[in-house]
Amino acid sequence: MSTKVTATVVDSDPSLYEENHVHQVYDQIASHFSATRYKPWPIIAAFLSSLPPGSVGLDSGTGNGKYLPLPIERPGSVWTIGLDRSRNLLRAARTAGQSTREVVWGDVLGKSWRDGAFDYAISIATIHHLATPKRRMDAVQRLFECVSPTHGRVLIYVWAIEQDAQSKRQIPTSTDQSALGQDVFVPWVLTSQTAPRKPNRQHVRDEADLAVDTQPVEPQTFNRYYHMFAEGELDELVRCAAVNLGLAVGASETDADAGIEIVQRGWERSNHYVEVRRWRRA
């Protein structure tokens, strides 16, 4: 299915805007969305496989919880807690990978964890749903705050302006503001054809799912808000978040007591990603 992406402007209170163009949409498309999202991306899977046994982490914006069962080769040696704003997606996340998962209904801008509680945090395809630069930076800051100041690791993925050649999405030609990223609507069309093709093993079907599936065939289009990130924009967000927390940026600098180090960064499958490690001088 080819999806036409259109430019948009955030023209109201950002939290209200997100409520209308992100949270409500996901709650409505949850079961169909969930059925199309079951394959973990390689770099994220590798990150989760590199964690020592006993690690506990946060998946901030877990969606249907597809990363909660990982690492697949040694299940139960690591626990990831899933947080999401969509309660309907959490119903799927709760039983992701046919086992009971830990999920929390909350906002990625919330701070409902004791400081430094986690060994790691991932935020995959989530921060691009926040409607202002400040809110996106706050979300990054929350990730830094919830992991250990001595060894916490954070992996962030956001949607890129630079799209994969294989992507069928048509992106509007950018304005002169492209260095600042671009705000867009990405349509999700609900028709009988987009009903889950393979019976979904990852989530329990319940009343809400059935209600959606039995609706008449009239196709419905839901526009989801995204901020498409420009090259370098995610790095800048990470830098600003670190500075706001009084953290140096770079490998254990001599004149700083604490900081973050960018372990890897890059572009994969139409997304920018960055992995960060927190450090503190002993």
Partner 1 sequence: MVRLITHNLLACHVKRCTTNNFPLQLKDVQLALREAEFNADFLRGFMPRLEWTALVQAACQVGDDSLPLEAPEMVDDEFLKNLHHVLLEIHIEEGAMVCPNCQHVYPISNGIPNMLLAENEIG
CB of 149 to partner 1, least distance (A): 13
For residue 212, which of 47, 88, 39 has the smallest C-alpha distance?
Answer: 88
For residue 196, which of 65, 86, 87, 36 has the smallest C-alpha distance?
Answer: 36
Residues 6+ apart with CB under 8 A from 159: 125, 128, 226, 227, 228, 229, 270, 271, 272
The single residue among 12, 50, 112, 167 that binds partner 1, judged by CB under 8 A, is 112
The single residue among 92, 103, 124, 127 that binds partner 1, judged by CB under 8 A, is 103
Q: Is 54 in the site for partner 1 (CB under 8 A)?
A: yes
Of the ranges 70-78, 123-131, 186-194, 245-253, which one interacts with partner 1 (CB under 8 A)? 70-78
Mask of contacts with partner 1, 73-102, x by CB under 8 A?
--xxxxx-x-x-x-x--x---x-----xxx
Q: What is the CA radius of gyration of the chain?
A: 19
Closer residue to partner 1, CB minimum distance, 58 or 234: 58
Tokens of 43: 């770099």
Amino acid in position 30:
A
Amino acid in position 228:
M
Size, binding site for partner 1 by CB under 8 A: 35
Closer residue to partner 1, CB minimum distance, 85 or 272: 85
Three-state DSSP state, 217? coil
Q: Is 130 in the site for partner 1 (CB under 8 A)?
A: no
CB of 113 to partner 1, least distance (A): 5
For residue 234, which of 169, 161, 147 has the smallest C-alpha distance?
Answer: 161
CB of 61 to partner 1, least distance (A): 14
CA distances (Å), 66 to each of 94, 209, 229, 243, 266, in order?
Answer: 10, 18, 23, 32, 22
Closer residue to partner 1, CB minimum distance, 112 or 244: 112
Distance CA 8, CA 128 (A): 14
Q: Which of residues 144-183 bind partner 1 (CB under 8 A)?
A: 148
Q: Which of residues 2-21 bind partner 1 (CB under 8 A)?
A: 15
Residue numbers at the binding site for partner 1 (CB under 8 A): 15, 52-56, 75-79, 81, 83, 85, 87, 90, 94, 100-107, 109-114, 117-119, 148
